[in-house]
Structure 1
Amino acid sequence: MAGGTVPAPSPSPRRHWWAAWRRWRKGRPFWGGLAAVVAGAEICALPLAPLKIMLEQGIAGIPSVLMGLVMVVMGLSAWFAPQYRSLAGVLTVMVATAALVMSNLGGFLFGTVVGVIGGGLIFAWQPLAPEEVSAPESEPRLPPKELS
């Protein structure tokens, strides 16, 4: 542009999307929820064999599938309802520990270890406190009035 000003580049939609994603992720126990979902999916998927093998396994595979589903739901609740993080964290640790005994050594130990770590991360997460807006120091502060 001859003799004119160059317009400022507008923020790209990609950059805006990335900032929104980071804000969403930081506002909840994201990594603990992800670990719980991965551990639950792993515990749930191991007993899901072909139908012929599953019929031979019988009722023993049902607790594995149920415990895996509970862990996935707890991980998702940590993401989408972070106010229930304490309950979700405790239940995730309890189910992951129970899976060690009831479900193929807790998904061959991987599901139990990742589930206990994820539940601990969910339970330990705390939301950031909003920053307090302080009055500018240029304005004098008046002492409180005394009641007579």
Structure 2
Amino acid sequence: MLLNLLRRWRRWRHSRPFWGGLFAVLAGSWICVLPLAPLKIMLQQGVAGIPSVLMGIVMIVLGLTAWFSPPQRSLAGVLTTLIATAALVLSNLGGFLIGTLLGILGGGLMFAWQPHAARRSAKAGDAGEADKADEAGKAESAVAAPPPPTPHHDPQGAQP
């Protein structure tokens, strides 16, 4: 049972930008928690702490979006990077640089992540090579058509 649970966890983790989302959630938490202090200090700080808390919450939501809606990873990655950069100016040097660096790293990982395309079977690959050899002899002067795209769940298209 534990082995089955571990396999399901690995499959879930590999089917989405897990590390990018994790870094975004950590960055948002770090930026959000730093300005939270006892009530007396918060009242003295005034509205200066509000952007920090809001940016932190938005970064946490973007990290969770990358986990639970992988097709939205590109937008979440770009927005995470932009908010982490803005936090550098608006929020205690972006959580004393730690939150900004984690946010930029997480946003980059989310944006760069690509899902794995379905692998072709070995028999289909061997038959495809034989068909290619036959077609090469028939259509030397004609321009070859590109291969059909590999079907998968990502609308932006993954490279095999």
Aligned-pair CA distance for 1:137: 5.2
Taking the aligned partners of 2:17 and 2:125, their CA distance within structure 1 comes to 34
Task: Name the structure 2 match of 1:24.
Answer: 12
Q: What is the alpha-carbon distance in structure 2 between the residues aligned to residue 136 and residue 55 of structure 1? A: 68
Which of 94, 102, 116 is 2:104 aligned to? 116
Which residue of the other structure, out of 87, 106, 112, is the alignment partner of 2:75?
87
* Corresponding residue for residue 139 of structure 2: none
Q: Is 1:34 equivalent to 2:22 in the alignment? A: yes
RMSD of aligned residue pairs (Cα, Å): 1.8
Residue type matched to 1:73 in 2?
A: V
CA distance in 2, matches of 1:60, 1:136: 61
Q: Distance in 1 between matches of 2:124 and 2:74?
A: 36
Alignment partners' CA distance in 2, 1:135 and 1:52: 70
Spell out, residue by residue over 1:60-88, the C-alpha distance to the aligned partner (whole angstroms, 9 max, x if none).
00000000001000000000000000000
Runs of 4+ in structure 1 deviating by more than 2 angstroms, as ranges, are 133-138
Q: What SS class does the counterpart of residue 135 from structure 1 fall into?
A: helix
The one-letter amino acid paired with 2:2 is R
Residue matched to 2:124: 135
Whichever residue aligns with residue 70 of structure 1, its letter is V
Structure 2 residue identity aligned to 1:86: S
Q: Which has the larger radius of gyration?
A: 1
Match of 1:63 in 2: 51
Unaligned runs of 5+ in 2: 136-160
Q: How many residues align?
A: 131
Q: Name the amino acid aligned to 1:33.
A: G
Task: Could you tell me which runs of 5 or more consecutive residues in structure 1 were left unpaired when the two chains were aligned.
Answer: 1-12
Q: Is it true that 1:73 corresponds to 2:46 in the alignment?
A: no
Instruction: Give the partner amino acid of 2:115.
Output: P
TM-score (norm 2): 0.77
Aligned-residue identity in percent:
64
Q: CA deviation at 1:135?
A: 3.0
Pick the structure with more helix per residue.
Answer: 2
| TM-score in terms of structure 1 length | 0.83
Pairwise CA distance, 1:132: 1.6
Q: Are residue 46 (structure 1) and residue 34 (structure 2) matched?
A: yes
- Partner Cα separation in structure 2 for residue 126 and residue 87 of structure 1: 14
